[in-house]
Every structure is written in C-alpha cells, then in structure tokens.
Structure 1
Amino acid sequence: MQQLRLSFAGAGASVLSIIFFLAFVSTTEAHNITRILAKFPDFSAFNHYLTLTHLAAEINSRRTITVLAVSNEGMEDLLSKHLQISFIKNVLSFHVLLDYFDARKLHQITGGTALAATVFQASGNAPGSSGFVKITDLRRGRVGFGAQDTGGIIDAVFIKSLEEIAFNISVIQISKILPLTTAEVPSPPPSPINITSLMSAHGCKEFAETLLSSAAEKAYEDNLDGGVTIFCPGDDVFNKFIPIYKNLSADEQQSLLEYHGIPLYESLSTLRSTNGVMNTLATDGVDKYGIVVQNDGEDVTLKTNVVTARITGTIIEKQSSVGIFMIDKVLLPMEIFNATTTISSPAPSPGPDDDVEKPKSPPPKGKRPKHLSPPAPDSDSDSPALSPDDDAADQTDDTNSGAAGNGLSAGVPLCMLWVFLLL
C-alpha cells in the first residue's frame, strides 16, 4: 500500500513537472508580433520593417514587452529620410520598451512620469541616456512619449491599444515616430552604375557601343533601380553578328538588344538553381520574347528556339541591383529569326595565291569551244570558215560531227570522181 502511494506521488510530481513545462513554453511563445499587426492593415509598413530588421524575432523572444506601433501615415516621415536599414532598425528598436505598459497602467503612472528602457538601449548602440523613453501622464487623459535625452519634450501621444496579453505583450499606437538623432544618419546616395562602361571594360565593347546608339539603352537604364540582369556577347562573337544586325529593321534591332536583358536582378548562384522560361526587356505581352534558363551543375545555358548560349563569365554582381554576365553567342529570338538561321563569320577576300575557282570566260571571237559540234548550216554560204589557228583535233572533230549531222561520208564524192576519170 505504501509503495502504491509512493507511485501515485511520483506520478503526481511528473504531471506537475509537465504542467510547469507547458506553462513555461506557452509563456515564452505566447505572442507573435507579426500576426498581431497583420490584423491591422494600416500598420503594414511598421510590421514589414520589424520583419526586415529582424526585430520581430527579438520581440517574440522576450516575455515582457511593449511595442509603440506607428501607422503607415506616421511611417512616411521616417522612410522619406532614406536611412540605411541598420539605422531604421535603431529607430524602431527605440519603440520597443522592455516593460509592460497597457492602457490602464499608462493612465496610472506614479508621480506622473516614468522612464522605460528600450531594445535600442539594450543593444549597446545607444550613447548615454539616448536609449530611454520618458512617459508622461498629461491632463485630460492624454499620455505623452519623448526621448529622455531631449529634456522631456513630448514628441508623440498615446492613441489607442491594439493588443494586450496581460504582463506579456502590449501593442499600443502612438501618433508618430519618436526622434532618435543618434540613429538618423542619412545613407549616402547610391553611386550611379554605368553599365556600358562596365561592359566595354570587360570584353563586351561592341555590344555596349551598339546599345549606346539604340533606343534600347533606355529600357536598361529605367530598370536599374528595380534590378536588371544583362547577358552580353563577347566582342569576337558580336563582331561576327554585326553584318546581320545591320540588315534588321530599327524595331528588330531594338528588340534584339532588349532581348539580352531580364527586368530583375539574378545572381549567378540563383541562375544555377533556376530552370524555366524568363521574360526579357523585349517582352511586351503580345510578343513573348522569352528565354529558357537551364543549368547543369556549374554551367548555365540560355536557350531560344534558334540558338543556345552559355554563360562564360561574370562582369558584375551588385546585390539586388545589377548583374552582368558574358555569353558565348548572340541570343536570337524566334520572333525575328527562324530555326535554320546560322551565324558565321563573313568569307575573307581571296588572296593572289588562293586556289579559287574563277568564272569561265567566253571563247575568243572567231573560235569555237573544243569538243562542241556547231549547228549544221542551212546552206554552203552560211557555213562558218575555220580559223588557221584551229588545231587538228578541232578540225577532225568538226568535220566528223558535221558529216554525221548530214548523214554522208566526206570521202564519197572524191571516189566517184576517180572512177569517172578511169572510165
């Protein structure tokens, strides 16, 4: 009986352990800031940047937290400064308090003011007292927020509570972004990328110069901000193609050049893991102008219905902006060329010693070609006279052929004359 009681006691302890463990797990994973803000479309920009800066994961990992959320309209002032993503993270981390403040607690602050540490202060990036937010209970039920290092100036006010999980997470709306001068360092404007200079300096000068003289260049320039990938044929390849290019119409030339660009950034590693059709800058909905990207290990090929080209080198890979790769053939779209089109180098002019078959000259006037029988004359007066320069073989051939044409032997009249004289 005693052993049975001990067994029940042991089982009870195990159950309690499991209960405490589950309670701990449920507490540590009780909130998800991304899901909470997803219920409020007007906070999509704030939610997006929490994810982009990885602050969402840090918020979810903490057991006690308050998020000072700002609407899309309130985010415009911050985003208009074009800060680097690291500085945006500092600003938003200043809006995450390491304490729990719901609507009730905000209106019952002891002494009318309170200081709250932030994730920015805990990160070690905050100099002095710049990582603390001062909360002030104002008159007529209003609550103000400001940075501690600005001398208590009220920069934003409490609007409403979005979500409250008691003593775990509180998500409240404030009127605008709190200023954080130590983090708001504008990022330098991006240096312009000269794609034609890059191509010219790395073996694609002919393609680059052709692009510069075409309206197709604008299509490439317009896509630089959003990202573009360029496949440029090497100089030796494009030089062979120039005669064919010049015979195309202006629209066909523009489409062919635009056919060598994809309107998004693709790195070589991405291309090596891609198989399928991609639209190009020449694609306009009616004319497909697509290329098929295929890979085999480290090799990447670009296929049209006319030709298959291979990527032979990387000229530039600028993250999320521009990728330029050299290819070993000119890409020929089926919208312009057919499947039997072949590109070869123009035939060189023959040299003086080249064994080249020359066109046959007509025979000199007064002579007949050898081994050819002339047409039978209609009368003796029309019969052509033989030139003294004709050789014996010519004469024999002509005589025999003429005789054959008249059905008589040349020696018959002479024999009859001798017979007449003998008689």
Structure 2
Amino acid sequence: MPRPLPLLTLAISLVLLASTTTVNAHNITRILAKHPQFSTFNHYLTVTHLAAEINRRQTITVLALDNAAMSSLLSKQLSVYTLRNVLSLHVLVDYFGTRKLHQITNGTEVTATMFQATGSAPGASGYVNITDLNGGKVAFGAEDNDGKLDAVYVKSLEEIPYNISILQISQPLNSAEAEAPTAAPTLNVTAILSNQGCKAFSDLLIASGAHTTFEENVDGGLTVFCPTDPVINGFMPKYKNLTAPQKVSLLLYHGIPIYQSLQMLKTSNGIMNTLATNGANKYDFTVQNDGEVVTLETKVTTATITGTVKDEEPLVVYKINKVLLPRELFKAAPEKKAPAPKGEKEVADGPNADAPSDESNDQTADNDNGVHKMGGGRLAVVAPSFFFGVVMFFLFD
C-alpha cells in the first residue's frame, strides 16, 4: 500500500533543501551593470580596486553616484589613488536599507566607511553622518566637513538584507582629508616578495640580475607568480644545474608584462606570453580555471595559484605551488597512456634521465596557502540519485 502523499512531499522537500547549500556572494560590478546611468561610478570602482574590496565584505552599503554626479567629481582631476580615498568614503561598512534609513535612533547616526578602514583617515574623517530629516528626506555628510550634509538619498538600486545595499545619493560627499593628494605607492617587487613568504624566490631574482627586468616592467603593469620558499628550496638541486642565462630565463618565465587580476585570469583563459618571451623562444604557458581554482600549464608541469601576495594595480603577485618549468629548458611530460585492455600486462616506460620530474618531492606544495576544491560534481550526481531513490521508495514500498 502506497504511503500517504504528504510524507512523500516531505521527503522530496528535504532532499531539495539538502542540495541547495551554496551561498552566492554579491558582485557590485554585475549589479551596477544593470544600471547604465551608473557606468562611470562602476568603472572607477574597478579601476581603484574598490570593487574587489566590496565583494569581499559580507555586510556593506554603497552610496552610488550617477554619471552626472561622477562628472562633477572627476572635474577635480584627482589622481587615481586620491579618487580611491574619495570613493571609499562612499562605502559604509554597515548595512543600511531604505527602511533602516528612516528608523535611525534619534534621527542621526555616524557610521564608519572603507576610508576609515584603510587606517590612513586621520581623526574622524573616515566617518559619515546620516540624518533623517523632516519630510522623509535622508541626508549624508562627511564628519570632517564642518557638519555640512552634502547629499540626500535619491533611491534604492539593490538591497540584499543584510548583505549589501546600493543606494543612490544626489552628489559626492566632500572631505578635505579624502581629497588630499595621495602619492602613488612605491612598488619594490623584491621587497614585497621577501616579506610575504617568497624570500627564496626574491633572492634568486637578485642573485641572477633578473630583478631589474621585473622592476622595469612594474609601471606598465606586472603579474608575478611566486613559488613559495619550501617549493624553491626543494627545487634548488635542479636550479644549480642550469647555466646563468637559463636561470635568468627560468625566473623571467614567472612574470607576465601586464596586470592580470585573479578575475581577469579566470575570464581570459589561454596562452600567456611572459617576460622571458623573445622571438622564437616562446616561453609561454596556458592559464586554465576550474571554478575558483586557477592553474598554469607549461607542457612540463602544472602549477596552481594558492594565494594572493599583493594586488595593487599595476602590480599583482600570486603564490604558486610549483616552479614553472618551460619546455624550452625541460622535456615535456609524456602524455598519459590509455589504460591497457583487461587481461593484458601493462609495460612501464623506462626512466628518462633528461626529463625532470615535476611531481617529485622537490615540488612541495604550499599547504598553508593551498586552494581546496569541493567535489561539486560528485555531489551533483549523488543528490539526483538519492532524490529518485527516495521517490521510488515511497511510491512502491
């Protein structure tokens, strides 16, 4: 006798609930892309790298400026580093939806911004005053602006309680401290590497003289892939067997002469030239991604990006779990053979003394910064199978 339908419905609901555990993070760039009148604001959030900071935050409010308001701000001809400070003043590190704006205790609240979070905002200059005015209007002003409320709330563009809220305000917030000239940061590649777990790689750059090529390319854009100290230490026996020019080429192979954020790498899979590329000497590798995991394939070895050391345009530095071995210096890894037919004895190839093994112990993974993947594919297979099993059980038991 079939069981009652409500029990079957309950079982199906439980299975569906168990298979929907993924939480989608917000993406400020995609949200604003739906509103063309905010294209300039959206563009400069990306240029100043604030977009990535916003996306990393779990609770955030963005005070968005339309194209007309951005034109008035850009007319001040601020440097991109100063503009970052000004725009970061428009990002509140708390959630304020439309309802909350009109329910502020005593009508006024002072809240911190991402400018304050940088640690470079003196005094209270990194705070914004929010005041609920008579007649339903809500005004905003920087705390270091002599109490002036520069802008008013216009409308809500997007609200995902209590994750992200994007509210349009009428004009930019004025702040003398945020608009103070900000010099471009000094980007010393080897110093950055030495302080972030890549000292062994940095020492090799300096000893070989390859560091000068890295330094010369910073201003125009540079992406560095740094094998961590344990990886370099394990690779040293092979490194010592290379000639001086080969050592330089190997090290230059770990740099790309353009800025490539992690998101850019994920969306621009394919062949990449490197600092070692020179005419017939291709010295390139292929970038591939599987979800959030990005790999670099050289035909000899495959390395995985395990972390970001620094991301401040024009420079980005990533940690990788293997030394990148170019096919110009090392023999390509043999292609994997199809499994032998059942019943036949598989014959192994003899050792190749000339082809270094990239899977040996000298390519130790950087477990402290490893990227771990969840077997989503396996879950996708198991969930439907379990679902149909439950259905069949209730229908025919």
* TM interval, short-chain normalised: 0.3 to 0.5
**TM-score scaled by length of structure 1:** 0.40
Which of the pair has the greater relative contact order for Cα pairs under 8 Å at 6+ separation? 2
User: Whose radius of gyration is greater, 1 or 2?
Assistant: 1
